[in-house]
Amino acid sequence: MGTYVVTGSASGMGRAVAERLRANGHTVIGVDVQPAEVVADLSTPAGRRAAANAVLSACGGRLDGAVLAAGVGPTPGRDQPRRILEVNYFGVVELLQAWRPALAAGERAKVVAFSSNSTTTMPAIPGRAIRALLAGDVDKAARALRIFGRAASSMAYGASKVAVSRWVRRHAVTRDWAGAGIRLNALAPGAILTPLLEKQLSTPAEAKAIHSFPVPIGGFGDAGHLADWVVFMLSDSADFLCGSVLFVDGGSDAYFRSDDWPGPVPARRLAAYLRKFKRFTSFS
Ligand code: NAI
């Protein structure tokens, strides 16, 4: 039986994942601002450091997997855009960087980071905010969002999830991750009926926008079903999954972006592609 860390373990999908792992006999170290094994506020650097260290002590320096589900939704509020960036992006990547050696010490360790289908279905997410996050500059990212006024929370949410997905894809294939035997992937849910979505639905304007959003199969997803996908992505059956962003969203991404991806390498990227091809060394 393995040892897993699950952030956001007190509610919604993180809670459902923790319950399933425990039911399968695994040890779960939950991290949350609400009651959990490790109580920490991931919206501050000090809270993230405390969470990272507490988990490393609790697991004895060895983890078989990590699930990064803690997150805040795009509800309006003056401080909300920055909180979204802090929790949804830095609350994923800083913890993963701190836990990487423990994951490398684990048995075929797997990581699932929560992204969202807002990455591909939300228009006009500012590239400057995404680039600033990937450069580790939260102030610059927050400044890039100010011009959006009331919509800044939505844009922050989209930017945080695009940046998480890119971070996962960039790092998954490197010596430090794939080369250390760690499988790093992301899950991109659509609208799943959890307390996060319920909070958004409690505002009439947001509820109207959510209900009118195209979901080809209709309705909302179920937290337990998403947890089943996560458990699969943590299993040995997912050994060949590396750097993937898996969309489980009732078809919204396919509806809006059917012809955008997968797509061929554009001619203007050919030189960079060939350079990567030549540089490649296998980790097996
Ligand atoms: P939820 O609100 O039910 O659970 C999120 C958990 O994160 C809560 O237990 C909360 O206390 C914790 N959390 C929030 N801020 C924190 C902080 N500062 N420090 C520590 N913990 C904190 O949400 P849900 O829906 O289960 O979301 C899980 C993940 O899935 C999130 O990353 C969310 O962005 C993502 N997601 C959710 C979708 C949905 O429709 N519910 C759709 C797409 C992605």
Query: Is the CB of 87 inside a 6 Å radius of any atom of ligand 1?
Result: yes
- Predicted confidence at residue 284, as pLDDT, reads 82
The strand pairing partners of 68, in sequence order, are 7, 113
Q: Is 36 in the pocket of ligand 1 (CB under 6 A)?
A: no
Which ligand 1 atom sits nearest the alpha carbon of residue 68? Answer: 32
- The pLDDT tens digits for 234-244 are 999 999 999 99
**What is the rounded CA–CA span in Å between residue 71 and residue 170?**
21
- Phi, psi (deg, nearest 5) at residue 221: -80, 165
Whether residue 6 has its Cβ less than 6 Å from ligand 1 = no
Domain ranges across the chain: 3-281
Residue 185 bridge partners (DSSP) = 112
Reading the block at residue 241, the tokens are 């999954």
Cβ 8 under 6 angstroms from ligand 1: yes
Residue 205 burial (10 A CB sphere; 0-12, 13-18, 19+) = exposed
CA-CA-CA-CA torsion sign (157, 158, 160, 164): positive
Positions annotated as catalytic residues are 157
Ligand 1 closest atom vs CA 88: 32
pLDDT at residue number 217: 98
- Residue-wise pLDDT for 30-52, tens only, equals 999 999 999 999 999 999 999 99
* pTM to 2 decimal places: 0.98
Q: What does the pLDDT read at residue 33?
A: 98
What helix, strand, coil percent values describe the chain, rounded to 5? 55, 10, 35
Residue closest via CA to ligand 1's atom 29 equals 69
The count of other CB atoms within 10 Å of the CB of residue 267 is 8
Its CATH class, for the domain covering 3-281, is alpha beta
Alpha carbon of 69 to ligand 1 centroid (Å): 6
